[in-house]
Amino acid sequence: MMQSGIFTGYFPYGLEETAKKIRAHGFNTVQLDLHFKDIDLGAGQITKEKAKKVRDTFRDNDLPISCISGYTNIIHPDLAHREANVERLKEIIRNARDLGSPYVISETGTYNTESEWMSDPKNKSEEGFEMCRAVIAELAQEAYDHGSMFLLETYVNNVVGSVEETVRMFAQVDHPGLGLLMDPTNYFEDHNIDSMDKVLNQVFDTLADKIKIAHAKDVARAGDDKSEKHADIGDDDALASHTFRGVGEMVLNAPGTGSLNYDLYLQRLSEKHPNIPVIIEHLSEDDVPRAKKFLDDKFRANGL
């Protein structure tokens, strides 16, 4: 049976209140964002005691932590900034087990100097790929050394932004400390969204064995989405990494408000991962009941 979960960061409260609110929606797992109003988990502030408090609070509310957000630009063009980002990610990886899950997630970053979510020509260069590969190999080893796993999340504007680039990265970093966060919406651009089923099947035909956790959001051409609630939460928000963004005319919005073929997605996902956590994202707190119902209805409709 697939599990529906949600990012904790969509609930901007203290630790205990966040857990209770999420459980009240009927979720049975979470992706942990390290932001709570009453506990500092910022850079250099994670301790074993704090980590276990977070883990146990969610466990006590029947919400095991299935994975941990570590989103950052691992190849930031400013070397000092890059090193700080990578060290922060390693800090999360080292504490992952105490936080309740071995899985720590990040996208692969961009060399764009203006935004961590925009593309850059260097992203698609051999030099850019090799630099990214080296960092991912380093993170995979760090995770392995601490009983954890770094999960790469493909995103079209990053160095690893397509099915082919994802396959290539796993071929070059063939490491037990590396896995895949499956979010199919992150593979779509204007040139391939009309071939959705083909792309989805390609993803699962080539990468299914690498998948550890899955996401649930949606994708559409601008103007084609079904909802005006896009979780555009702003650059200063603690969850700025989860903004409403896409490539060109693409928008990435809440599950059930776009054109993702959820039936095919969940069917292919369940073939090798029938009990995988599927984590809802890209929405506002008031849209959570609708999004959860949509996902749960899809589970039932597909016998999952």
Averages of pLDDT over runs of 10 residues in the chain (304 residues) are 95 98 98 97 97 98 98 96 97 98 97 84 95 98 98 96 97 98 95 96 98 97 63 33 53 94 98 97 96 97 96
Q: pLDDT at position 227, please?
A: 52
CB burial of 169-181 (b: ≥16 within 10 Å; e: otherwise) equals: bbeebebebbbbb
Q: Alpha carbon of 165 to those of 178, 195, 299: distances in Å? A: 15, 18, 30
Q: pLDDT at position 245, please?
A: 52
Q: pLDDT at position 268, please?
A: 98
> Which two three-digit tokens encode residue 71?
């989103």
Q: Are 260 and 192 in contact (CB under 8 A)?
A: no
Question: 127-169, pLDDT tens digit by residue?
Answer: 999 999 999 999 999 999 999 999 999 999 999 999 999 999 9
- Rounded distance between C-alpha atoms, residue 256 and residue 268, angstroms: 18
Q: pLDDT at position 228, please?
A: 46
pTM of the model: 0.93
Q: Are 205 and 244 in contact (CB under 8 A)?
A: no
Q: Contacts for 261-265 with beta carbons within 8 Å, 24 or more apart? A: 261/196, 261/197, 261/200, 262/298, 263/298, 263/301, 263/302, 264/197, 264/200, 264/201, 265/184, 265/200
The total of other beta-carbon atoms located within 10 Å of residue 119's CB is 19
Question: 36-52, pLDDT tens digit by residue?
Answer: 999 999 999 999 999 99
Q: pLDDT at position 243, please?
A: 38
